[in-house]
Amino acid sequence: MRTRKVIRSIAVKEFRHILRDPVSCLLLFLMPVIILVIFGYALSFELNHVNIAVLSRDRSVSSEKLFLRLDANPKIRIVKRLYNMQDIEEAFASRNIRAVVVAGEGLGETEVFVDAMIPMLAMSTENLLGEVILRNAAETHPSPNVQELPEPRIRYLYNPALKKEYMPVPGLIMMVFLLVYSIMLGVSVNREKVQGCIRLLRLTPMRASDLMAGKTAPYFLIAFFHLGMIFLVCRLFGIEILGNRMLFFGICFLFAVCCMSLGLLISACFDRQLDVLILCWIILFIPNVFMSGFVFPVSTMPPAIGAVARSMPGTAFIDAFRDVAYKGNSLSVAFRPILILAGETLGFTLLSYVIFSIRLR
């Protein structure tokens, strides 16, 4: 009987300890939900829908029938209609268009322009559109021999050789920056609390901005080293930076600063180094790696999850990276992901400043 009381007392004590510890609650209750939602529901390589634009050279009835058949497919959505070939490049500047179908007057004059920055997604898009186009050609021009039906001409844009290196490079840079500027900086700032240095700093005429600037200054210098590393990695993988290089390196530097602000925010909210490390992995690393388009395409995610994914810093960085480096777009086209990064950096920095100011007082 006494043993049961002892066990029950210890169990009640442990349960109360779990409920009082925010990190333990996150690990036990929130993390399983996040993992189940991300890996069981949100992430998939299957193309649920492909947004395309269409262009008819002759505006004939046969072209319109093809477009109707494409739009009738549940996995294909025509979101834009073009009127001349010069509009194709502008259409691809929109991030939600994966391909452009150009229909001609006769049989065999159908061309498909595919965004090939992600080779696996480009091939899936090609197979999906090619199947519909061939089926339409077979019904429009009946032939006893199926092999006589000409296949549509496929043209890959932004990665004509379908180099597999084009897909992982921005994601690998994102991972390095998250590890160095979020996790390492967060643990470094938190070390001041663990070692008791923060108590001594409170006795000095120091402001929260001084602490934040002093802790991040070495990482600003390290960022310039990493920018040179990025340039060498692109050269090593044979990736040519098509856009403005100053804009490209500015995007990389902005993402590094955004990661620093995230590390500062987490370290400001929690006191234990283990808490900071765990939260950086759960809140920053896992969602940004798996939901940013690095491993799984954002276009294959459900709409609600996709909206959350597009608001994350990692997704904004990869979108801006591909816009400038692969597509050669200007600031006006890559403005949206850059604005997201800048806004989140400012918000995280201000919130960190407020929390550090309260803690130092």
35 domain-assigned: no
Instruction: Enumerate long-range contacts of 168-171, CB under 8 Å, 24 or more apart.
Output: 168/294, 169/233, 169/234, 169/237, 169/239, 170/294, 170/317, 170/318, 170/321, 170/322, 170/325, 171/289, 171/292, 171/293, 171/294, 171/295, 171/318
214 domain-assigned: yes
Looking at the fold, whether 223 and 253 belong to one and the same domain comes out as: yes
Distance CA 114, CA 130 (A): 11
Higher-pLDDT residue of 37 and 308 is: 308
H helix intervals, 38-85: 61-72
Per-residue confidence (pLDDT) for residue 327, from 0 to 100 = 87
User: What is the number of structural domains in the chain?
Assistant: 2
Per-residue confidence (pLDDT) for residue 43, from 0 to 100 = 62
- CA 303 to mean position of chain CA atoms: 15
Number of Cβ within 10 Å of residue 204's Cβ equals 9
Per-residue confidence (pLDDT) for residue 345, from 0 to 100 = 94
Domain limits for position 330? 164-360
Distance CA 233, CA 98 (A): 27
For residue 241 the two structure tokens come to 């930076």
77 domain-assigned: yes
Tell me the percentage of the chain whose pLDDT exceeds 90.
13
CB within 8 Å of 312: residues ≥ 6 apart: 287, 288, 291, 292
Looking at the fold, whether 297 and 324 belong to one and the same domain comes out as: yes
User: What CATH number is associated with residue 56?
Assistant: 3.40.1710.10
The pLDDT tens digits of the residues spanning 87-114 come to: 888 888 776 788 999 987 654 578 899 9
State which of 94, 129, 157 marks the end of a domain: 157
Per-residue confidence (pLDDT) for residue 256, from 0 to 100 = 93
State which of 139, 157, 175 marks the end of a domain: 157
Q: What is the average per-residue pLDDT within 209-237?
A: 85
Residues facing 80 on adjacent strands: 53
Distance CA 16, CA 41 (A): 32
Q: Does residue 214 sit in helix, strand or coil?
A: helix
Distance CA 62, CA 168 (A): 40
pLDDT exceeds 60 at position 154: yes
Looking at the fold, whether 188 and 296 belong to one and the same domain comes out as: yes
CA distances from 195 to 198, 205, 218, 269, 273 (A): 8, 20, 20, 17, 11
Distance CA 195, CA 289 (A): 32
H helix intervals, 115-244: 119-140, 168-177, 185-194, 197-202, 208-236
For residue 350 the two structure tokens come to 């201000």
The pLDDT tens digits of the residues spanning 277-297 come to: 777 777 788 888 888 877 777
